[in-house]
Amino acid sequence: MTIALEDNAGDVAAFAMPIVSSVQHVTAVTQDGRPVVVDNASYAWRNNETNPLRQLHDDLVQDYRDDLDDAAIQLIRPLLAEVWAERGYQVRWGTEDEVDHLPDQPDTTTYRSVWDEAASRVDVDQVVEDAELVAVMRAAYSD
């Protein structure tokens, strides 16, 4: 943590500026006392154990994985915030590198639990619709 001093018309005020490499997962506390946790929707989507896309035809997922992932990442983001809030946290969106390399606070088990819960709430039909693949799925991938 770097401490800097500011001279403003004779008044001296101290303020702290965090250095990214030393920021922990819980980086602050909200006015109502909830800890703020760093997360990333893309990272959470790729690292959840739930994998809701298993509900879709394998070939559709293989052929359109990027489109489906992009749509799912947009859908999981508010769900992550919701699940973190249920656990008493407010989320701050960070980079994948930030989430991957910060000290474990909360621990990895908590992160995985949040990611899995949020992923389980993703509506797969909405993923297909948002990826604009409904017609493709009906035409080529219906059993």
Over residues 127-134, the mean pLDDT reads 97
Closest CA to 92 of 37, 34, 19, 33: 37
Over residues 113-139, the mean pLDDT reads 96
Q: Token digits for 117?
A: 């819960």
Q: In this predicted structure, which of 46-60, 87-101, 110-124 has the lowest mean pLDDT?
A: 87-101
pLDDT of residue 122: 98
The pTM (predicted TM-score) of the whole model is: 0.75
pLDDT of residue 104: 58
Q: Is residue 43 over pLDDT 80?
A: yes
Residue 77 to residue 70: CA distance in whole angstroms: 11
pLDDT of residue 106: 83
Structure confidence at residue 5 as a pLDDT band (50, 70, 90): very low
Convert the pLDDT of each residue in 80-116 to its tens digit: 999 999 999 999 898 888 887 766 568 889 999 999 9
Q: What is the DSSP string of 99-133?
A: HHHS--SS-HHHHHHHHHHHHHTS-HHHHHHHTT-
- In the chain, % helix, strand, coil (3-state, to 5) comes to 50, 20, 30
Q: In this predicted structure, which of 66-70, 76-80, 120-124, 138-142 has the lowest mean pLDDT?
A: 138-142
Under DSSP, the state recorded for 49 is S
Over residues 44-73, the mean pLDDT reads 95
Q: Computed over its alpha carbons, how large is the radius of gyration of the chain?
A: 20
